[in-house]
């Protein structure tokens, strides 16, 4: 026994340790199991993670530069058309240029009007006729039509702390000058051309929270979103009397530094934004626990340098990071505060990766993925790409848009949101309809939508069911089944070992996916496999597959060689297995019957050789597979796994596999001994 233990210790060090590992105990097969380039795992509020859901396929709806929601009739047609195209989520403007887009008692109490008044433009670019009448209840109207079409509805509080465009004489700007942020010269217009409410002022904090809570109370919203305006107004701002007063109170009477980019001064202002963010989420979450709380910021770290926002860190906040009582918030009692004890967790992050070419988009997106992995606890599945389709300048090409959506999937992102609806409705409706292919693949709902685990080919159908979905899972599992060897690669490079891999179907009568027994061993020690697992492969409604990893009960070594006799599993049930949370992987078809994929974020935990998480990358075809498993420490440094590239496994026949196993059992010499 001691010899076996020592041998396994040596094996783990080789397979999981430095320059020559195949990926260690979490190893090759985790990748083999067809990990995926996509994460389209469902999220769900703060805990609904049904994997058969899909991705966010959204668009922003604005009253500017289009007429999609300019009348009730056009609103109805727009929502119907978006659903037909395959969009599942709409982010609808409801707070803009100092006015709500719905009747607001909070606004009425504050400035004397309950929405945009007649003759006041919602946007400076609006033609006179659009501002001739008072604002409609745009929120209520668009919400009703979205619900009719089973669209997830996110109320988009676009302006956040912004009070007005520089040329707009809004009620807030005129009546609440003490609320406004200013630069060193006393100017209220920031370099970005807007007038901002001070995010530190206790009354502005309460005001913004109250208009959001009011909408949450009055309307059956699926979620709310703050834009890139829940920030410090600009790095040059913060020299208003109130901010200087608070700074002095916290710094022994000293005023803020004259240098707006002083590191400590920037840090202090960023901390105040973080402070409000926590209070905001905690109160909103307490008011309606299942609500989707969404953020659409500018890319990081640019947004910190200019707006003192470090949103990737918000993704890593836990319950321990929450505030026990409100800070600097008007009319909010500390005792019995509703937000106490609530986790300050945002549900989704949609960085505005608006670029004029695919290459520029990919560079920005990959930077956001990296930041989410490093700072955001690996929550890449909750990272959704804001993609520019139209706007100032030339429209995106379809090829750039298609590639942008696909790279988000391949990197494990949670979906995409198009800026803005005109691009979806008028520029690429046919192309997007073909891309989403709802007719054949089914309608995919927002992963966090209520009832999202039951989306299917139509509202209410199970997305894990149906012939099209099931065939996807079976096609993926078919490439995984069989016997594989890395002997050829090991003979050409000493960086790789001769590994034997067996993946055999068990429980063929199961209706909840394809179940595979997986066994992996050194060629020279096949009676002592270093990895034994069970996988379940299921098809998803969006044309992909997911493979879950399960641990065997008891001593796994007792099942060694079971790939030759699957009847040994007849006395076992799926409920006897234990799933490895966070290690499910996904499969993306890449054409010609091939698949490729990778794990998502940092969710597959590991403590092998000092690692904290593992990643896997895989490519599958009829001849075999390529798999690359690696372990990383908390700082992102690789601590085990192959460093020269993936293992290349060639498919071998069952007879060859059996003969090799027999040779090993009989102790015959083999050329792979090293």
Q: What's the confidence (pLDDT) of residue 40?
A: 33
Q: pLDDT band at residue 265, thresholds of 50, 70 and 90?
A: very high
Report the pLDDT value the prediction gives residue 539, as an integer from 0 to 100.
Answer: 83
Q: Which two tokens stand for residue 311?
A: 């949103």
The string of DSSP letters for 324-371 reads: SS-SS-TT--STT-TTTT-----SEE--B---SSHHHHHHHHHHHHHH
The answer to whether residue 549 is domain-embedded is yes
Which pLDDT belongs to residue 666? 65
Whether 80 is covered by a domain: the verdict is: yes
Nearest to 62 by CA among 130, 141, 166, 158: 158
Return the pLDDT at 368: 97
- C-alpha to C-alpha distance for 14 and 32, rounded to whole angstroms: 19
Please say if the pLDDT value at position 48 is more than 70.
no
User: Same domain for 436 and 484?
Assistant: no
The candidate with the shortest Cα–Cα distance to 166, out of 191, 130, 146, is: 191
Residue 41, pLDDT > 60, answer no
**pLDDT for the residue 121:** 67
Q: Are residues 164 and 76 in the same domain?
A: yes
In this prediction, residue 453 carries a pLDDT of 39
Tell whether the model's pLDDT for residue 239 goes beyond 80. yes
- Which residue's entry shows tokens 């004259």? 258
What's residue 621's pLDDT?
87
Lowest mean pLDDT of 26-30, 352-356, 435-439, 570-574, name the range: 26-30
Looking at the domain assignment, is residue 462 inside a domain?
no
Same domain flag for 216 and 70: yes
Q: What angle do CA 309, 315, 319 make, to 5 degrees?
A: 115
Give bridge partners of residue 447 from the DSSP assignment: none
11 within a domain of the structure (yes/no): no
Residues 211 and 138 in one domain: yes
Q: Does 62 have pLDDT greater than 50?
A: yes
Please tell me whether residues 33 and 64 are part of one structural domain.
no
What is the spatial distance between Cα 295 and Cα 293, in angstroms, rounded to a whole number?
7
How far apart are alpha carbons 117 and 111 in whole angstroms?
12
Q: What is the pLDDT of residues 456-468, one digit of tens each?
A: 322 222 333 344 5
Place of tokens 């920030």: 231
Question: Which residue has better confidence, 47 or 159?
Answer: 159
Average pLDDT (593-610) is: 82
Radius of gyration of the chain (CA): 28
pLDDT at 374: 94
Report yes or no on 7 lying in a domain: no
pLDDT for position 6 = 35
Pair 536, 389 in one domain: no
Could you tell me the two tokens for 128? Answer: 């006179």
Domain assignment of residue 673, yes or no: no
b/e code 501-537 from CB counts within 10 Å (16+ = b)? bbbbbbbeeeeebbbbbbbbbbbbebeebbbbbbbbb
Least confident of 237-241, 500-504, 573-577: 573-577
Decide if pLDDT at 50 tops 80: no
Domain count, the chain: 2
Q: What is the mean pLDDT of residues 557-578?
A: 89
Sign of CA dihedral 300, 301, 307, 312: positive
- Domain-embedded: residue 453: no
pLDDT digits (tens, 9 = 90+) for 167-202: 899 999 999 999 999 999 999 999 999 999 999 999
Round to whole Å and give the CA distance between 32 and 378: 22
In this prediction, residues 587-605 reach a mean pLDDT of: 78
Given 409, 443, 477, the domain boundary residue is: 443
The enclosing domain of 543 has a CATH number of 2.40.128.590
Q: Is the peptide bond before 420 cis (omega within 30 degrees of 0)?
A: yes
135 lies in which domain range? 56-443
DSSP letter string, 53-73: ---EEEEEE-SSS--TTSSHH
If asked whether residues 169 and 236 sit together in one domain, one would say yes
49 assigned to some structural domain = no
Is beta strand 613-621 parallel, antiparallel or unpaired with respect to 585-591? unpaired
Beta bridge partners of 632: 613, 638
**b/e code 597-625 from CB counts within 10 Å (16+ = b):** bbbbbbbbebebbebbbbbbbbbbeeebb
Beta strands in 379-487 (DSSP E): 385-388, 415-419, 482-485
578 and 647: one domain?
yes
Specify the range with the lowest mean pLDDT, choosing from 228-232, 431-435, 462-466, 540-544.
462-466
Task: Quote the percentage of the chain above a pLDDT of 70.
Answer: 85
Looking at every residue in the chain, the average pLDDT score rounds to 85
Specify the pLDDT at position 2. 34
Distance CA 374, CA 368 (A): 10
Are residues 518 and 431 part of one domain? no
End-to-end CA distance of the chain: 22
Residue 446 has pLDDT above 60, yes or no: yes
Provide the pLDDT for residue 452: 53
For residue 655, what pLDDT band results from cuts at 50, 70 and 90? Answer: confident
Q: What is the pLDDT of residues 99-143, one digit of tens each?
A: 999 999 999 999 999 998 875 766 767 777 766 667 789 999 999
Residue 33's pLDDT is 36
Question: How far apart are the C-alpha atoms of 236 and 238, rounded to whole Å?
Answer: 7
- Confidence tier at 471 by pLDDT (50, 70, 90): low
pLDDT(482) > 80: yes
- Residue 146 and residue 295 share a domain: yes
Q: Name the least confident of 29-38, 277-286, 496-505, 534-543.
A: 29-38
DSSP characters over 570-623: TT--GGGSEE-TT--EEEEEEETTEEEEE--TT-SB--GGG-SEEEEEEEEETT
Residue 346 and residue 293 in contact, taking contact as beta carbons nearer than 8 Å: yes
pLDDT at 582: 78
Quickly list DSSP for 467-526. HHHHHHHHHHHHHH-EEEE-HHHHHH-TTS--EEEEEEEE-TT-SSSEEEEEEEEEGGGT
Last residue of a domain, one of 408, 443, 478: 443
Query: Are 310 and 304 contacting, i.e. CB atoms less than 8 angstroms apart?
Result: yes
Residue 330 and residue 383 in contact, taking contact as beta carbons nearer than 8 Å? no
Question: Which of 488, 585, 591 shows the shortest CA–CA distance to 540?
Answer: 585
CATH number for the domain harbouring residue 90: 3.20.20.80
Q: Does 535 score more than 80 pLDDT?
A: yes
Q: What residues have CB less than 8 Å from 77, skipping those under 6 apart? A: none
The tokens for 615 are 């990643």
Same domain, yes or no: 288 and 354 = yes
Judgement on whether residues 60 and 34 belong to the same structural domain of the protein: no
Q: Identify which of 438, 331, 380, 398 has the alpha carbon closest to the alpha carbon of residue 603.
A: 380
| Block residue for tokens 């070594």 | 557
């Amino acid at each position: 026994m001691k010899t076996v233990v020592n041998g396994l210790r040596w094996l783990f060090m080789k397979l999981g340790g430095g320059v020559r590992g195949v990926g260690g105990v979490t190893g090759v097969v985790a990748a083999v199991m067809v990990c995926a380039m996509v994460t389209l795992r469902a999220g769900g509020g703060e805990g609904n993670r049904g994997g058969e859901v899909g991705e966010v396929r959204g668009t922003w709806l604005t009253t500017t530069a289009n007429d999609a929601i300019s009348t009730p009739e056009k609103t109805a047609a727009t929502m119907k058309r978006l659903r037909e195209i395959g969009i599942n989520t709409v982010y609808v403007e409801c707070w803009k240029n100092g006015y709500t887009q719905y009747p607001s008692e909070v606004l009425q109490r504050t400035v004397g009007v309950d929405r945009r008044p007649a003759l006041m433009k919602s946007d400076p670019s609006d033609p006179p006729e659009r501002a001739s009448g008072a604002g409609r209840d745009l929120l209520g109207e668009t919400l009703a039509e979205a619900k009719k079409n089973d669209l997830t509805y996110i109320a988009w509080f676009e302006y956040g702390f912004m009070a007005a465009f520089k040329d707009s004489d809004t009620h807030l700007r005129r009546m609440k000058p003490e609320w406004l942020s200013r630069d060193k010269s006393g100017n209220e217009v920031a370099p970005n051309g807007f007038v901002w409410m001070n995010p530190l002022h206790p009354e502005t904090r309460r005001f913004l929270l109250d208009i959001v809570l009011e909408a949450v109370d009055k309307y059956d919203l699926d979620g709310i979103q703050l834009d890139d305006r829940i920030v410090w107004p600009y790095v040059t701002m913060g020299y208003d009397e109130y901010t200087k007063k608070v700074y002095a109170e916290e710094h022994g009477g000293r005023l803020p530094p004259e240098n707006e980019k002083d590191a400590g001064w920037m840090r202090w202002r960023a901390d105040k934004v973080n402070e409000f963010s926590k209070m905001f989420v905690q109160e909103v979450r307490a008011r309606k626990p299942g609500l989707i709380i969404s953020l659409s910021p500018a890319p990081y770290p640019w947004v910190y340098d200019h707006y003192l926002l470090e949103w990737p860190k918000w993704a890593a906040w836990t319950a321990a990071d929450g505030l026990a009582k409100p800070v600097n918030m008007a009319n909010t009692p500390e005792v019995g505060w509703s937000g106490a004890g609530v986790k300050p967790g945002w549900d989704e992050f949609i960085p505005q990766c608006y670029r004029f070419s695919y290459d520029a988009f990919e560079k920005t997106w990959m930077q956001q993925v990296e930041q989410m992995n490093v700072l955001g606890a690996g929550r890449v599945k909750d990272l959704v790409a804001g993609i520019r389709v139209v706007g100032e300048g030339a429209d995106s090409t379809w090829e750039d848009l298609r590639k942008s959506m696909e790279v988000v999937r391949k990197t494990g992102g949670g979906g995409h949101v198009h800026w803005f609806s005109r691009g979806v409705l008028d520029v690429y409706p046919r192309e997007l309809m073909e891309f989403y292919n709802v007719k054949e693949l089914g309608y995919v709902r927002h992963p966090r939508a209520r009832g999202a685990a039951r989306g299917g080919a139509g509202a209410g159908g199970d997305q894990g069911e149906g012939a099209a979905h099931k065939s996807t899972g079976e096609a993926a599992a078919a490439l995984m089944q069989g016997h594989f060897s890395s002997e050829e690669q090991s003979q050409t490079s000493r960086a790789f070992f001769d590994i034997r891999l067996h993946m055999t179907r068990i429980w063929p009568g199961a209706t909840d996916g394809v179940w595979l027994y997986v066994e992996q061993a050194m060629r020279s020690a096949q009676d002592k496999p270093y990895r034994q697992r069970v996988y379940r492969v299921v098809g998803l409604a969006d044309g992909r597959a997911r493979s879950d990893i399960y641990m065997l009960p008891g001593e796994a070594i007792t099942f060694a060689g079971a790939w030759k006799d699957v009847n040994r599993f007849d006395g076992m049930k799926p409920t006897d297995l234990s799933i490895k949370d966070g290690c499910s992987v996904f499969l993306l078809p890449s054409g010609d019957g091939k698949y490729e994929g990778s794990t998502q974020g940092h969710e597959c935990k590991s403590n092998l050789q000092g690692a904290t998480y593992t990643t896997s990358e895989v490519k599958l075809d009829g001849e075999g597979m390529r798999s690359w498993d690696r372990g990383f420490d908390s700082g992102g440094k690789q601590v085990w796994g192959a460093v020269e590239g993936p293992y290349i496994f060639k498919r071998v026949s069952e007879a060859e596999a059996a003969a090799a196993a027999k040779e090993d059992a009989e102790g015959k010499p083999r050329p792979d001994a090293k």
